[in-house]
Amino acid sequence: MNQNLKKMISYYKPYRRVFFADMFFAVLASAIALAMPLIARYITSTIIYMEQEEVLGRVLFLGGIMVMMAAVSCYCNFFISDYGHVMGAKIEHDMRAEIFAHLQKLSFAFYDNQKVGALMSRITTDLFDITELMHHGPENIVISLIKIAGAFVIMMCISPRLTAAAFLLVPVMFVYALFFNRKMKRAFKKNRVKIAEINSQIEDNLSGIRVVKSFANESIEEEKFKTGNEGFLSAKKNSYLYMGGYHAGLNSFSMLITVVVLVAGAIGISKGTVDVTDLITFLLYINVLTEPIKTLIDFTEQFQNGYTGFERFLEIMSIEPDIADEKDAKPLTHVKGVIDFENVSFKYEENTETVLSHINLHVKAGEYVALVGSSGAGKSTLCSLIPRFYDVTLGAVKVDGMDVRKLELKSLRDHIGIVQQDVYLFVGTIYDNIRYGKPDATREEIIQAAKNANAHEFIMSLPMGYETDIGQRGIKLSGGQKQRLSIARVFLKNPPILIFDEATSALDNESEKVVQESLEKLAKNRTTFVIAHRLTTIQNAKRILVLTEQGIEEEGSHEQLLAMGGIYEKLYHMHSA
């Protein structure tokens, strides 16, 4: 926990001036709150017994001082609320930027085991709670400690007996608070997990809303959500049970302190050991004393929320990217596009089945290679090893004779273009989505890329042309149109190595023909890997590899493989039947 707190404190460093100013004004506001009852005591114990003419002047003078003190206190509280909150928002901004940048570095293997909704919860809800703690936490502690300690010292100077009576219940109060504190921490941590699960479920449902509606399964989704939602409610009920006990108990202790002081004061007055003025002053200080106790109540609740959120933030930040640049990584330059798989074996995680086993493959620069095989044979996995989305378990993948692990990741991926079956288009315009392939491209380059991908004509037929908003994930476009935009994106990138991952398998025959023409134009003079679902799309390939769980079992042209009468022939007749 100490290390975590040190890490948390380090986020104040860029804003230490505002932080110390915030603390100064918190101390000043606390000092004013402590001084007010002392002025009231001076008026009731001394000034009211002076001559009438003198009383008016003294009271007006002290009244003026108190108005000034109230004005200073007002500015202190304004600074704390305004500048303090802005400081908290800046810290939240920094932490969000840090976790977002870290998430960009993590590999496919991390995302294979994560839910998007749960990650979103860590970037939004958790960080808001953290920033609230980091803004209010220090000032609440400072204000509370100064008020409690200041009230204790002043009250001791006035009447040690009444002070003893006032602080009699404080140790019991803190034991009570400590007990509920621990219970609350566990409950709030459980809340975090539950809300992350709900976020994930909502994100999953809304992303797949068209599938839900097409199967008329709204009631099933509502039932699934109901289970998660009731689990969250149950966790919340549990945490509020402890919070209720915490709040109710400490508020009752505050009232009991007033009762004890009143009883002790009344007995003292009857015996002549306590002045009425001192009792009035004590009753005023009890308000000063109970207010920071209530602040500490809020702080403990805030601390549970913020600190558990920070622990979850650190959980993500502590995950080391399993794929990153090595210290001596070199940039990939003057790429020819020669690809070698040398005795490559791969499995996704330890204790799982091997997906690829002892693959040896040499692909010449500019060669067009098609990969076919049954689902699960490892075709996509094999191609994912080239841009190093995953690292090989054994062996090596080489580009132009250099192990991809020895190359700078960005440099490697800059020279590889990928067209997938499941096209992902970002929210925005057609122009923005094509430009994603080369952010500094000119408009002329973008239009030329669209023309090369057979996309220019349909783009210009849209009401806003290249400025047309395509909706979430390009929902306003057809499958063929989306695919042509993704091809235009790769045309703009202009990489020497291409991977087509079943790029036409989800399209109708007419769209497939147009897209296939675009793909063939793109593949010209580039090293190309084509993962084919429909074997008709790769009949012209000079080199077809048949991949099975045993590795590359067959290799040759379409005619050669059919003549072998093996796996390829069976696959071909199966698809053409």
Q: Residues 78-99: what's their mean pLDDT?
A: 87
Q: Say if 274 falls within a structural domain.
A: yes
Helices (H), 334-471: 379-384, 409-414, 430-435, 443-452, 456-461
> Which structural domain, as residue segments, surrounds residue 465?
423-494
Q: How many domains does the chain have?
A: 2
User: Helix, strand, coil: what percent of the chain each, to 5?
Assistant: 65, 10, 25
| Domain's final residue, options 462, 494, 526 | 494
Q: Tell me, what CATH number does 466's domain have?
A: 3.40.50.300
Q: Say if 504 falls within a structural domain.
A: no
Q: Which residue has the higher pLDDT, 58 or 121?
A: 58
Upper half-sphere CA count for residue 571 (Cβ side, 13 Å): 25
pLDDT exceeds 80 at position 300:
no
Render pLDDT for 504-562 as a digit per residue (tens, 0 to 9).
Answer: 665 556 566 776 777 777 778 888 888 877 776 777 778 888 888 888 888 888 888 88
Q: Say if 527 falls within a structural domain.
A: no
Considering the domain architecture, whether residues 62 and 206 belong to the same structural domain is answered as yes
Render pLDDT for 227-255 as a digit per residue (tens, 0 to 9).
Answer: 878 887 887 888 888 888 877 887 788 78
Helix (H) or strand (E) holding 546: strand 543-548
Considering the domain architecture, whether residues 429 and 313 belong to the same structural domain is answered as no
pTM of the model: 0.68
| Domain's final residue, options 274, 299, 317 | 317
Q: Say if 484 falls within a structural domain.
A: yes
pLDDT band at 397 (very low <50, low <70, confident <90, very high): very high
Render pLDDT for 504-518 as a digit per residue (tens, 0 to 9).
Answer: 665 556 566 776 777
Q: Tell me, what CATH number does 303's domain have?
A: 1.20.1560.10
Residue 251 CA to residue 235 CA, distance in Å, equals: 24
| Domain's final residue, options 293, 317, 341 | 317
- In this prediction, residue 507 carries a pLDDT of 59
Q: Say if 560 falls within a structural domain.
A: no
pLDDT band at 78 (very low <50, low <70, confident <90, very high): very high
Contacts of 374 (CB under 8 A, 6+ apart): 548, 571
Q: Which residues, listed in sequence order, are joined to residue 346 by a DSSP beta bridge?
A: 356
pLDDT exceeds 60 at position 421:
yes
The percentage of residues in the chain with a pLDDT greater than 70, rounded to a whole number, is 95
Helices (H), 124-169: 125-158, 160-166
Q: Say if 369 falls within a structural domain.
A: no
- For 534, other C-beta atoms within 10 Å of its C-beta total 17
pLDDT band at 17 (very low <50, low <70, confident <90, very high): very high
Q: Which of 418, 402, 389, 436 is nearest to 333 (CA)?
A: 402
